[in-house]
Every structure is written in structure tokens, then in C-alpha cells.
Amino acid sequence: MSSTNIRRCISIGLVIALGLTYTLTTDSFLTTFNILQLLKDSAYTGLISLGMALVIIGGGIDLSAGGIVCLCGVACARASFIPGVPGIAVILITILAGAACGLFNGLVVTKLHLSEFVTTLASGFVFSGLALITTFKTDGRPVPMKLTNLDFISFGYNYSGLYKITIVWIALAVLMQVVLTRTRFGLYTCALGANEKSALMSGVKKDRIKIAGFMACGAFCGLAAAMVVAFQTATTQTLGNMMEFQAISACVVGGIVITGGKGDALAACLGAFFMTMVTSGLLKYGLSTGVHYLMYGAVIVIMINFDAQFSRLTDGGRVRKTKKNEPPRLSEVQP
């Protein structure tokens, strides 16, 4: 069994172990209603995690995801009030707004040669500021505005308890898994994250991959914002708060290496579901928000340390010795 499959089994085992713990210690976890709610809540983080996974696997980071979600939420609400606009058009407008934010990040990183950390940290504040400026206001103060576009609001409905955002998340996860493991774009993304210098020597177009990754992340943030706004029938200034860190946490816990080069969509989804389970279980125990943050931090530190040790054990003896200036074999790069 490959190291990727072993790591995937470990993530699945963590989900099962946590689920069994909650089932034995609470009386309301293993119910159909609770599982469907878990899937809905996971889908919000999961959609953003899919986009974040692309950036991280490519060797980058995006700290502006929360700001993009906030700004896209406002854009979504504004678009829904346009007379006669269909719901699907509101979704597409929101996705395009998110992609535009990602394009901005990508261009700044690749053309101005600034670090992803600094660029996205700054742009996150910019996007959040734009959201506050353009949001609905009464007497100069931001207020939530109740949406009235029923065609758009229907995207927040569910079928027999299974919410549309969950269906969209699962479908896009399958698509992203294929893209990352079966396409040239996915191969080049992994190669760039594994060894940027070697990837460039092999002809990988760094700027194109970086920009595409940031745009995809922004688009996923826009889609997540639209689906949540449709469910809540309103947008607030706190939408997207800390979501970038939740998405990064989900990727790390799922098995995506934070330094890039290894991971897939399934890892991001497993991580998102696991972290949502952690939060849900702590709520059932009646623990405070402070404990939630402590648990999040502890889980992240533990998993990063575990992955470091796991990589040494599984990959340490399989590094191919290359001659000086010899380009890598892209066939050796595994997502």
C-alpha cells in the first residue's frame, strides 16, 4: 500500500474513532438529523478547503479566504436584489467575484514577486474592508438584509434532509480529485509544490499554475458564500470570519502537507468533516468557545508533527539521487 493510501486510511480512522467516541458518550450524535447537519456544516468549510488545497499543494498559502467569503456574501446579496435576475445567475456572479479576488492575489504574487503570506494577509483585510463599505447600512451602520429572491433562496433548501450545498460539495470533491490526480494541471501543481526549482527546469509554467490556483480558491470561496447566504436568506459582516484558518486546518488534518507537493481533494474533505465533528461534539458537551480554540490548535500541532514523522518513515528512503542540474521526472511526482 502506498504512503498516500496509508495516510488516507489514518484520516478515515480518526473520523471513525471520533464518531464512536461521541456515539458512546452522547445520546444525540448518531442520528440521521445530526449526520445530515454535520454534512451541511462540513460542506461550508469543505468547499473552501477544496480551493485552499489547490493553493497549498502548489506550495502556497491563501490567508484572504475569509475576506473573499465576506466580500462575495455582500456581492451575492446585492445581486439577488436585481429585479428579475434568476437564482443561478446570482450564484455565477458570486463565483466570478470570488475568482476576481483570486486573480488579484495571483497577479500580485506572480508579477510583483511578493510572498503569498504577505500578499494574501493584506488582501484579506482589503476584501473585508470592501465588504464593510459596500454592505447594506441603516443610519451608517451595517445591518443584515433579508433576501426576497425566492429562486436564489431555493439553493439553500434540502431534499429529504440532504442540503444542496452538501450535494454540490460532494460533486465538486469528485471533480477536484480527478483534476488533481488525472490531469496535467494537477501533476504540475504537485510538482511545483514538491520542488519549485526542479519543476521550472522541467518546463512547468509557474505563473499560470499559481494564478489558476488562487482563482480556483477564490471561486470556491464565492460558491461557499453564495450557498450559505441562500441558506441564511441574509448576509452579515461576520460571514467568513476565520474561515481561512478553518480551511487550512482541514487540509492539514486531512493529510495535505503544509509545505506543498502532496495531497488531494479527498484529504481536504476528510479534514473538513473531522474538524466539523470536533466542533459539533464539543458543543454537545456544553464546552465553551475557548475550549474549541484550544482543541483546534492542539489537533493542528499534533497532525503537523505526525505528518512530519510519517513522511520521514515512508518517503525518507525513496529519494532518487540526481545528477547536478538534472531536471526531475514528473512521473515521479505523486499527488
| Reported confidence tier of residue 286, pLDDT bands at 50, 70, 90 | confident
Calculate Rg over the CA atoms of the chain: 20
Residue pair 152/230 in contact (Cβ under 8 Å)? The answer is yes
The whole-angstrom separation of Cα 126 and Cα 100 is 13
322 in a structural domain: no
Q: What is the mean pLDDT of residues 191-209?
A: 90
Distance of CA 8 to the CA centre of its chain: 18
Domain count for the chain = 1
CATH code, 138? 1.10.3470
Mean pLDDT, rounded, of the chain: 87
More confident residue, 160 or 46: 46
State mean pLDDT over 166-176: 95
pLDDT band at 330 (very low <50, low <70, confident <90, very high): low
pLDDT of residue 309: 83
Among 8-12, 21-25, 150-154, top mean pLDDT goes to 150-154
Which cell is 25 given? 458518550
Q: CA-based angle 239:120:173, to the nearest 5?
A: 65
Average pLDDT over residues 261-284: 88
d(CA 125, CA 234) in angstroms, rounded, equals 22
Q: Which pLDDT belongs to residue 124?
A: 95
Characterize 228-265 residue by residue with b for buried, 16 or more Cβ atoms within 10 angstroms of its Cβ, and e for exposed. Answer: bbbbbbebbbebbeebbebbbbbbbbbbbbeebbbbbb
Average pLDDT on 134-140 reads 77
Asked if the model's pLDDT at residue 299 lies above 60, the reply is: yes
**Residue 297: inside a domain:** yes
Q: Is 42 exposed, middle or buried (0-12, 13-18, 19+ CB in 10 A)?
A: buried
Q: CA 121, CA 249: separation in Å to the nearest integer?
A: 17
pTM, rounded to two decimals: 0.89
pLDDT score recorded for residue 190: 92
State yes or no: pLDDT of 325 exceeds 60. Answer: no
The residue range of the domain holding 238 is 3-315+328-332
C-alpha span between 182 and 69 (Å, rounded): 29
Q: Is the pLDDT of residue 321 over 90?
A: no
166 inside domain: yes
In a domain, 320, yes or no: no
> Has residue 14 got a pLDDT over 80?
yes
- The confidence band for 107, taking pLDDT boundaries of 50, 70 and 90, is very high
β 141-142/158-159 pair status: unpaired
The mean-pLDDT minimum among 46-50, 80-84, 206-210, 238-242 falls in: 238-242
Answer yes or no: is pLDDT of 70 > 80: yes
Across the range 9-14, mean pLDDT stands at 88
Average pLDDT of the residues in 303-314: 81
In a domain, 137, yes or no: yes
Residue 300 within any structural domain of the chain? yes
Q: Residue 322: pLDDT above 50?
A: no
Q: Has residue 321 been placed in a domain?
A: no
Range of weakest confidence among 89-98, 192-201, 220-229:
192-201
In this prediction, what percent of the chain has a pLDDT beyond 90?
Answer: 50
- Which segments of the chain are extended strands (E)? 137-138, 141-142, 158-159, 162-163
Mean pLDDT of 209-218: 96
